[in-house]
Structure 1
Amino acid sequence: MIRTVAALLGLAATLPADLAATAVAAIGGTAPPTRRSESPRTVLISGGKMTKALQLARSFHLAGHRVILVESAKYRFTGHRFSRAVDRFHCVPDPGAPGYAQALLDIVRRENVDVFVPVASPAASIHDADARAVLDPHCEVIHGDADTVRMVDDKSRFSEHATSLGLRVPDFRRITDPAQIDDFEFPPGREYILKRISYNPVGRMDLTRLSARTPERNSSFARSLHITDDDPWILQEFIAGQEYCTHGTVRQGRLQVYGCCVSSAFQVNYEMVDKPDILRWVETFVSSLDVTGQLSFDFIESAADGHIYAIECNPRTHSAITMFYDHPDLAAAYLDDGHPVIVPRPTARPTYWVYHEIWRLISEGNRKARLRSIFRGKDAILTGWDPLPYFLVHHLQIPSLLLRNLLARRGWSRIDFNIGKLVENGGD
């Protein structure tokens, strides 16, 4: 409770500064040049609490499309609903609720939606794939079918498919019983980690190393986790090196939007980097699926051998899409078959979330690096032609969630301004 009250007081203290920043941005703000579509459509976007949904809404709006934004009732105070890019906002049931697909269908019919672009949370991507079966007769859905999404979202099945294509992934085993860890012969000199195959918002940060040198820790750690046939984990080789993440938008197995960034466990800074080996890996994998949707990947470049290894695939929009904030062709690359692949413009500034940068400035030692990051880049939410979402994310959306948790006496581990929520155990 003390942390929650402190966070609320901190946001109240920054309100005047954010109000001033919003006003200054609005004075001289102009929209980036965008190619207007010759066939404007009505586009439905889910995940309205997240910055990546706002970015897509802005890109579609500037291209002349009508944008409908949806989110669950828990996040009905999202600041993004007040964006100039959003024509209508609707609340829908949680993606896992029985009425979710029907609620989307009702909106598709009522608003005459032409295209549905799910901006899914990790817990929602499979539900959006299931909803596609209901929506397909009524609008285009830029999301994989249920079988494809379930395959790539499962870390071990994804690794099996990549291996079948001759693509590199770390050594792995599917674990359904802690006893399998006791029986596994750890190769000398190599370390492994255990990762839950289902979404694990808090535990995903736990990279406890297991090896032949630590048999007791291996066993006790595995037994501290909830590993069953119904809740499998993956034992994956730990590879030291530089992490990268990618966003990809694919139409009929063809990559049309691509971005690649240096990554980390908690990633809130995005700047395009050129890694040809990663691009070739992504193109090979997506072409094998003949899918239309959004596929994001995590990679590691091994410090030992220099090779690229794919760690996992996330079948949803990546926050790296914020790098396309000034790209004139993002909407067309999403909606038009055969569009040439686009990458962030060379002039695009790195994106960040200023509250995360300020926290790092206070808590980390390398303040010059943080200040350099702030002045080189741009806040992913704040833009002059559409400034209101920035103010309301920080002074309506997040405070409303903090108050909700305060009244429920429920804790949280982190405020994530990027995805617009409080990270909690068992959260979405």
Structure 2
Amino acid sequence: MHNVLILGARSPAGLTWARMMAKAGYRVHIAESLGYPLGRFSKYTCTYTRLPPPKQQSKQWLEQLIQLLLREKIDTVIPNCEEVFYLASADALIQQAHPCQLFTSAMSLLTQLHHKGFFAQLTQNWPVTAPETILLTNQAEFTAFKQQKFSADKQWVFKPAYSRFATRTVLCPKTIEYSQLQANPQQPWVAQQYIDGQEYCSYSIIRHGQLVAHSCYHPKYRVGQGAGIYFAPVQQIKIHQFVEHFAAQTHYHGQVGFDFIEDSAGRIYVLECNPRATSGIHFLEQLSQTAQTAIAHAVVQADADLAATQLEMDLLQPAMHNLVMLFTPQTWRFFTQKTFWHDYHRARDAVWQRQDMLPYLIQLIPTAEIVFRAMSLHIDFLAATTVDIEWDGAPLTFY
């Protein structure tokens, strides 16, 4: 039987993959650097292995990952979070020790996509482009930007070139000082023109440049200004066409998400790229079992039919993180909105599944592990979810 290893099993996306792969007839293993990841409690998981944190212990992480690949005779590895960067960087070493499929692109492409400035440059002359984006790597570049670009008639968003969940983003300041950014070559920032409009996000599965599955949604409710927790499905032909163009131009391989904005004139801009799983994956669980199995086969079988699965987004329920919506203090402000409870009752929880209830019922256990980590490291909850796996451009070595 084909053995599939799911990395990033802390995320609901990892749980979705475990369920989808097992139902398609594959033997599912998961590995994580957390002790109690969500996917560990799924009935569809055959084995769970705790790995060292790849960011802090890269060498040990790779050594134990290779031991796992050999022990369980893994055929395909599917990363879901930022461990994808460590996996892609170690590709040659992994293939030397245990040849297998890694569902990821080359590290050179992932770097270009993860870096918000490099990605904006990549989209130039594409059908959908990024807003004007200026890379800032030192005080001289910041000073030149402020003198030449920063004015009252144009608003800007400042964000680290490597970042997630909109952390540290400075949105449309009336004034900005270099001390607020401290940009340098190792920790670059970007200034991106602010576009007012409707937000959209996409999630896609791409195999060697060919689109396998695609979804698009509006992140209607967020925790703060970053992570979305409620996803309303939408049809956006221009976004679908952009993803097809991206796949063909880059020959991308793996999971990828994009953030977009549509202005009042109907023009769509792409803001940034997430070369990993995003919340749009949860719409796949509303497809027929035949369609889900076809997607699973397309990921792991070289000769599988790669006809794209078209999701009729207007026929799907919204998806949400139920417990996050109810118990996160940042979301309580929504409770007084007239539409909130209507939206809440319309949506389908991203974790709940009647045939596999335990992950939903024990969500407080992995949440408590993250809370304890946040308290011990004196960081906020969102930062604690990725502190052991995130990659911000530093050279990676495994020796």
TM-score range, shorter chain: 0.7 to 0.9
Give the counterpart of 1:82 among 35, 41, 57.
Answer: 41
Cα deviation code 1:81-116 (max 9, x no counterpart)? 121110110011212222222322221111111111
Deviation at 1:365, TM superposition (A): 4.8
Cα deviation code 1:6-55 (max 9, x no counterpart)? xxxxxxxxxxxxxxxxxxxxxxxxxxxxxxxxxx5211110111100001
The equivalent residue for 1:356 is 324
8 Å contact kept, 1:326–1:345: no
Deviation at 1:181, TM superposition (A): 2.7
8 Å contact kept, 1:67–1:87: yes
The equivalent residue for 2:184 is 228
Measure, in 1, the Cα distance between the counterparts of 2:29 and 2:211: 25
8 Å contact kept, 2:211–2:306: no
Distance 1:94 1:113, change over 3 A: same
Deviation at 1:292, TM superposition (A): 1.5
Deviation at 1:148, TM superposition (A): 0.9
The letter for the 1-side match of 2:268 is: I
Count of residue pairs brought into register by the alignment = 368
1:376 aligns with 2:342: no
TM-score (norm 2): 0.85
The equivalent residue for 2:162 is 198
SS in 2 for 1:247: strand
Measure, in 1, the Cα distance between the counterparts of 2:319 and 2:127: 34
Give the counterpart of 1:111 among 72, 82, 85.
Answer: 72
The equivalent residue for 2:243 is 282
Deviation at 1:427, TM superposition (A): 8.4
Q: Which has the larger radius of gyration?
A: 1
Distance 1:299 1:164, change over 3 A: same
Give the counterpart of 2:86 among 111, 116, 127.
Answer: 127
The equivalent residue for 1:273 is 234
8 Å contact kept, 2:370–2:385: no
Measure, in 1, the Cα distance between the counterparts of 2:240 and 2:210: 12
The equivalent residue for 2:368 is 399
Cα deviation code 1:149-168 (max 9, x no counterpart)? 11111111111111144542
The letter for the 1-side match of 2:214 is: Y
SS in 1 for 2:340: helix
Deviation at 1:399, TM superposition (A): 2.1
Cα deviation code 1:61-91 (max 9, x no counterpart)? 111111010100xx21224212111011001
Give me the CA root mean square deviation: 2.4
The equivalent residue for 2:395 is none
1:238 aligns with 2:199: no
1:152 aligns with 2:136: no
Structure number with greater CO (CA < 8 Å, separation at least 6) is 1
TM-score (norm 1): 0.79
8 Å contact kept, 1:80–1:393: no
SS in 2 for 1:268: strand
Report percent identity of matched pairs.
Answer: 23
Measure, in 1, the Cα distance between the counterparts of 2:161 and 2:331: 34
Deviation at 1:405, TM superposition (A): 4.7
Measure, in 2, the Cα distance between the counterparts of 1:267 and 1:201: 9
Segments of structure 2 that go 5 or more residues without pairing to the other structure are 391-399
The letter for the 1-side match of 2:172 is: R
Measure, in 1, the Cα distance between the counterparts of 2:138 and 2:79: 34
Counterparts in 2 of 1:311-330, with a 5 A limit?
A: 311-327=271-287, 328=289, 329-330=291-292
Deviation at 1:345, TM superposition (A): 5.5
Measure, in 2, the Cα distance between the counterparts of 1:125 and 1:42: 19
Cα deviation code 1:131-190 (max 9, x no counterpart)? 222334511111011111111111111111111445421001111113323222126621
Distance 1:361 1:155, change over 3 A: closer
1:341 aligns with 2:308: yes
SS in 1 for 2:123: helix
Measure, in 2, the Cα distance between the counterparts of 1:404 and 1:296: 27
Distance 1:289 1:80, change over 3 A: same
Counterparts in 2 of 1:18-167, with a 5 A limit?
A: 41-72=2-33, 75-96=34-55, 97-121=58-82, 124-136=83-95, 138-165=99-126, 167=128
SS in 2 for 1:389: helix
